[in-house]
Amino acid sequence: MKRLSHYDRAGSPRMVDVSAKPETKRTARAQAFVRMSPAVLDKLSVNPKGNPLEIARIAGIAAAKKTSELIPLCHPLMLSHADVEVALQAGGVRVVASVTTTAKTGVEMEALTAAAVAALTIYDMTKALDKSIQIQDLFLLEKKGGKSGDFRRPEGEDKR
């Protein structure tokens, strides 16, 4: 059975030492879904605070760059690319965050953080219309590179 890498032999939390690992290109994509009523979806384009979807994109990108400040044991990474796509769908907004770096550790947490913060931003900008909006289905879609190899969520599990 594999050991969790963020714990030492005594069970204490630690930051993983990646100094001996080679730098390789690493990418990750994550998603979140913001479930909202059709009435709220219809009002997204006329929000007095601005376009929630564009603001969410920018918030997600900024969050990806700040992940190591938010998640205590994450390594600070120099990202070479971060993007957030938002798409209106039946029942809400799908957020997909993509992150790339060349580093000694992966960018899964950066992609997940970007998707989560973008979804939270959509909630923040629409909560005046309906406080029952839900953030759902935050998960990793895929990652490439690194010692553990590639991962892709099986087809059918990548949608809400």
The CATH number given to whatever domain includes residue 75 is 3.30.70.640
Does 13 fall in a domain? no
How far apart are the C-alpha atoms of 90 and 83, rounded to whole Å? 23
Does 120 fall in a domain? yes
Edge-to-edge order in the sheet of strand 79-89 = 79-89, 92-103, 24-35, 134-144, 151-152
- pLDDT at 3 (0 to 100): 65
Does 8 fall in a domain? no
Does 148 fall in a domain? yes
- pLDDT at 159 (0 to 100): 60
Does 18 fall in a domain? no
- pLDDT at 35 (0 to 100): 98
Two structure tokens written together for 143: 């990652």
- pLDDT at 18 (0 to 100): 86
- pLDDT at 2 (0 to 100): 63
- pLDDT at 19 (0 to 100): 83
- pLDDT at 7 (0 to 100): 67
- pLDDT at 108 (0 to 100): 96
What one-character DSSP code corresponds to residue 156? T
Q: How long, in residues, is the chain? A: 160
Strand partners, 32: 95
- Catalytic residue list contains 124: yes
Q: In terms of residue numbers, what domain contains 110?
A: 24-152
Specify the number of domains making up the chain: 1
Does 43 fall in a domain? yes
Give the residues of the chain that fall short of pLDDT 50. Answer: none
Whole-angstrom distance between the N-terminal and C-terminal Cα of the chain? 31
> Catalytic residue among 8, 124, 137, 150, which?
124
Does 11 fall in a domain? no
Does 7 fall in a domain? no
Mark residue 135 as left, alpha or beta (left: phi above 0; alpha: psi -120 to 50; beta: remaining).
beta
141 Cβ neighbours under 8 A, 6+ residues apart: 29, 30, 31, 96, 152, 153, 158
